[in-house]
Structure 1
Amino acid sequence: MQFNPATTANLNLKLLQTFLLIAEHNSFRAAAEKVFRSQSAVSAQIRHLEEQLGIPLFHRTTRRVHLTSEGLQLAECAKRALLEVESGLRLIRESADIRRGRVSLSCSPTIAEARLARVLAAFEKEHPGIEIAVRELTSEALFESVRRREVDFGIGPVVETTEFQFEPLLEDALYALVPRCLLTTTRDTISLATLTNMPLLVLSAATALRRMLEATTRERNLSFTTRYEFAQAQTLISMADAGLGAAILPRVALPLRTSPKTHALRIVNPPLIRQVALITLKGQSLSPASARLVQLLRQLIPDPLERGRLARRPKLKRAKKLC
Structure 2
Amino acid sequence: MSRLISQLSHVNLKLLQTFMVVAEYASFRTAAERTYRSASAVSAQIRQLEEQLCVTLFHRTTRSVRLTDEGRQLLDCAQRALQEMEDGLRKIRETADVQRGRVSLSCSPTIAASRLARVLAAFQSDFPGIEVSVRELTSASLFETIRNHEVDFGIGPQIETSEFSFEPILEDPFYALVPKRFISTSKSTIALSTLVNMPLLVLNSATALRDMLEKTLAERDLVFTSRYEFAQAQTLISMATAGLGAAILPKVMVPRDVDSSVWALRIVNPSLQRQVAVITLRGHTLSPASTRLVQLLRQLIGDPDEAPRHVAEPPPSTGRQLCGKSAL
Q: TM-score, normalised by structure 2?
A: 0.69
**Residue matched to 2:225:** 225
8 A Cα contact 2:172 2:273, kept in partner: yes
Please name the residue that 2:140 is paired with.
140
Superposed, 1:168-183 pairs within 5 Å as 168-183=168-183
Partners of 1:227 and 1:244 within 8 A in 2: no
Q: Deviations 1:91-124 (Å, cap 9, x if unpaired)?
A: 4532321111211111101111111111111111
| Cα RMSD for the two superposed structures | 3.5
Contact 1:105–1:135 (8 Å) recurs in 2: yes
Matches within 5 A, 1:1-323: 53-54=37-38, 90-303=90-303, 305-309=304-308, 312-313=309-310, 315=312
**d(CA) in 2 for partners of 1:275, 1:157:** 6
SS for the counterpart of 1:224 is coil
Once the 2 structures are TM-superposed, how far is the Cα of residue 212 of structure 1 from its aligned partner? 0.5
Work out the CA distance in 1 between the residues paired with 2:114 and 2:84. 44
Question: Which structure has the larger Rg?
Answer: 2
Offset of residue 175 of structure 1: 0.6
State whether residues 188 and 312 of structure 2, in contact with CA within 8 Å, keep that contact through their aligned partners in structure 1.
Answer: no
Q: 1:199 to 1:88 in 2, by over 3 A?
A: same
Name the aligned partner's letter for residue 313 of structure 1: H
Q: Is the 8 A contact 1:260 1:314 kept in 2?
A: no
Question: 2 CA distance for matches of 1:89 and 1:148?
Answer: 31
Please give the secondary structure, in 1, of the residue aligned with 2:266: strand
1:284 offset after TM fit, Å? 1.3
Evaluate the alpha carbon distance shift between residue 314 and residue 166 of structure 1 in structure 2; reply closer, same or farther with a 3 A threshold: closer
Matches of 1:192 and 1:168, distance apart in 2: 26
For 2:163 and 2:296, the matched residues in 1 are separated by 25
Distance 2:34 2:293 in 1: 49
Distance of 2:206 and 2:271 partners within structure 1: 22
Question: Offset of 1:290 from its aligned partner?
Answer: 0.8
Shift of 1:88: 7.4
> Matches of 2:100 and 2:218 in 1, distance apart?
50
C-alpha contact 1:176 1:248 (8 A) present in aligned 2: yes
Task: Name which of structure 1's ranges 83-92 and 104-113 shifts more when overlaid on structure 2.
Answer: 83-92
Q: Which runs of 5+ in 2 are unaligned?
A: 1-13, 18-32, 40-62, 65-78, 314-328
The answer to whether the Cα contact below 8 Å between 2:188 and 2:311 also exists between their aligned partners in 1 is: no
SS at match of 1:222: coil
Cα displacement (A) at 1:187 = 2.0
* Amino acid of the structure 2 residue aligned with 1:181: R
**Aligned partners of 1:285, 1:115: CA distance in 2, in Å?**
24
- Alignment: residue pair count: 260
Q: Classify 1:226/1:97 alpha carbon distance in 2 versus 1 (closer, same or farther; 3 Å).
A: same
| Displacement after TM superposition at 1:167 (Å) | 1.0
Hey, what's the Cα distance between the residues in 2 that align with 1:314 and 1:149?
43
Aligned-partner SS, 1:187: coil
Change (3 A) 1:241 1:84: same
Unaligned runs of 5+ in 1: 9-48, 56-68, 71-79, 317-323
Distance 2:286 2:245 in 1: 43
The CA deviation string for residues 271-297 of structure 1, in whole angstroms up to 9 with x for no partner, is: 101111111111211111111111110
